[in-house]
Amino acid sequence: MDVPEGTWDLRTGTSDIAAFPRQDWIRSVTAVPADAGGAEPGYSPPSGVPQAGHVLIGYLGRVRGVHARPENLMVTAGFAQGLALLCKVLRERGHDTLAVEDPGHPGEWEFIAGAGLRPVGILVDEDGIRVDLLAASGARAVLTTPGNQFPTGVAPRTGPPAIVLGYASTPPKTLRVALEKLGACVRGDRRA
């Protein structure tokens, strides 16, 4: 769809593909197979290629403040699969709620409810999710967007990892899981 000059396309579920670093992508897609040894083209372990885990852990530490070991990282086929696995683990660990941003993506709320958890809406302001309300909610797990919040577009000054880490470090311990989108790695406003 052509958009007249001077207007913005505010539809959700799309990416700014014009900003995609095509030349970097082509270089990477060409270099990786050329540098691969004999085993790399075969099936990788279910946990993923070890080198990818090290690279992603480095990125998450630098850009999101998430510190973990590669063996604790799980790469999924997308956000929905990651969220489904998260909901399953939370239910198995006795959780019946999951705190989510309000406003938030309605499909996310429906998905969480369909997975057997009750989404607990926590208001978002100009700094992101309201940690004071999060603490009062009684929820032991929280799902936040890693960058610009949807649908408000707010980019928290301190970032979700910083504010949620503070919340997660207070008793009772809160499960904090980073569900990250690869697109954040290549966006023009955030260099990894």
Q: Where are the domains of the chain?
A: 78-184
Q: Is the pTM of this model over 0.75?
A: no
Residue predicted with more confidence, 127 or 80: 80
Residues 78-86: what's their mean pLDDT? Answer: 85
Per DSSP, 100 falls in state E
Residue predicted with more confidence, 181 or 121: 121
Q: Are 99 and 142 in contact (CB under 8 A)?
A: yes
Which of 3.90.650.10, 3.20.20.140, 3.40.640.10, 1.20.140.10 is the CATH number of 78-184?
3.40.640.10
Instruction: Report residue 96's pLDDT band, with 50, 70 and 90 as the boundaries.
Output: very high
Sign of the C-alpha dihedral computed for residues 115, 159, 12 and 60 taken in this order = negative
Of the listed ranges 3-7, 8-12, 144-148, the least confidently predicted one is: 8-12
What is the pLDDT at residue 70?
83
